[in-house]
Amino acid sequence: MKTKLLDARLPREGSLEEMQAMRKRAAAAIGEAADILKRGGLVAFPTETVYGLGGDALNPAAAAAIYAAKGRPSDNPLIVHIAQRDQLTQLTGCVSETAEKLMDAFWPGPLTMIFKKKEAVPNGTTGGLSTVAVRMPDDPVTLALIRESGLCIAGPSANLSGSPSPTSWEHVYNDLSGRIDAILQSGESRVGIESTVLDLTEEIPTVLRPGWVTPEEIGAVIGGRVEMDPALFVNRPRDVSAGRDEQPEIRLLEDCVGPAPKAPGMKYRHYAPKAEMVILQGSQEAVHREAKRLAQEQETRGKKVAMLLFSDEDLAAAAKTLFSELRRCDEEGVDFIVASAVEASDSVGFAIMNRMLKSAGYHVVTV
């Protein structure tokens, strides 16, 4: 199948005529994308978190096609995207007061909420679960697409399963060209990491996947306790000391014992670049010194090395660039990535580390 590129870039500046022409082209692109979705096809769409791969959430054949295009394990449920709150009534009969407050505060935005699902939502969309994950993305192109199609749109990240999530339409094209009907071309994703996933089906709201919306912010809105899925802590870096001559300890997801994550997707290998990756943890000075030493060591072995040295001072930039940097390393044929840990006691830092640890296969060295 040939993947169609549909130009939905909205004007930022230009003459009146140019701006009008761009708006017209975007409207036509959105219209064409909506028609594809209504026919059961697949269209990648922009969001503020990462690009999504959309299909009709209530059509089991479209859901099955999403899993096939991504190579996604069939027990990993899809997030359903809506543009208006009244669409929720098609998906769930249980919207609590807590959920209403959270929607008021965070929608449209990077918070996904899990509800008990209605019969009409196919098991093929929810990975066989009796619950459904729903979010209203904060992107004008995608909100227009959902409205125009009149559908609830299932949309996991638009990457091949296992690779870093896509934050530009080019990333989507590299992974899924020839496997999906179309890509809505728009700008880069602003947030850069996936939404916070919050389970509202138990008594105490529980974060299953950390993201840009923090448990502190959620707690402040609902005026009550928020829990974290204990599985999120199982794989946190243990103090692993690696002296100069010692082999760093490598921890793999499969080696970790503890409770299974409640979000099925959290147990899979994820976000992995082709290169070997190590995360250095310690004072900025020690990390920079060890990064330089490691890079030299690898280079003398003929390896191509890249450094991803993030700053705790600008976690927004770390979130926005992590996945695109990992993809850039792949494109440039990098063999070895040295990354610096960010401060995981900060909730956004914790969300970034949750991704970075998976990218590195839990290969952390404390310096």
Contacts (CB under 6 A) with ligand AMP, residues 112-141? 114, 126, 129, 131-133
Nearer to ligand AMP, 165 or 281 (CB): 165
In our burial notation (b when 16+ CB lie closer than 10 A, e otherwise), range 81-120 reads bbbeeebbeebbeebeebbeebbeebbbbbbbbbbebeee
Residue type, 63: A
Binding-site partner at residue 263 among Mg ion, ligand AMP, none, CB < 5 to 8 Å by type = ligand AMP
Per rule CB under 6 A, is residue 266 in the interface with ligand AMP?
yes
Contacts (CB under 6 A) with ligand AMP, residues 267-296? none
Residue type, 98: T
Per rule CB under 6 A, is residue 74 in the interface with ligand AMP?
no
Q: Which stretch binds ligand AMP (CB under 6 A): 31-39, 75-83, 240-248, 339-347?
A: 75-83
Contacts (CB under 6 A) with ligand AMP, residues 157-176? 157
Among the listed residues 182, 183, 263, 280, the single contact to ligand AMP using CB under 6 A: 263
Per rule CB under 5 A, is residue 189 in the interface with Mg ion?
no
Cα gap 21→222, rounded to integer Å: 44
Burial of 363 (0-12, 13-18, 19+ CB in 10 A): buried
Nearer to ligand AMP, 151 or 365 (CB): 151
Diameter over CA atoms, the chain: 65
The backbone torsions φ and ψ at residue 134, rounded to the nearest 5 degrees and listed phi first, read: -135, 145
Per rule CB under 6 A, is residue 211 in the interface with ligand AMP?
no
User: Interface mask (CB under 5 A) for Mg ion, residues 139-158, using x and -?
Assistant: ------------------x-
Per rule CB under 6 A, is residue 197 in the interface with ligand AMP?
yes
**DSSP-assigned beta bridge partners for residue 55:** 154
Nearer to Mg ion, 157 or 195 (CB): 157
Residue type, 37: L
Omega before 164 within 30 of 0, i.e. cis: no
| Cα 354–chain centre separation | 11
Closest listed residue to residue 262, CA positions, set 350, 314, 202:
202
Both structure tokens of 12: 């930022």
Nearer to Mg ion, 194 or 325 (CB): 194
Helix (H) or strand (E) holding 129: none
Which residues of the chain form contacts with Mg ion (CB under 5 A)?
Answer: 157
Interaction site with ligand AMP (CB under 6 A): 76-79, 114, 126, 129, 131-133, 156-157, 194, 197, 208-209, 262-266
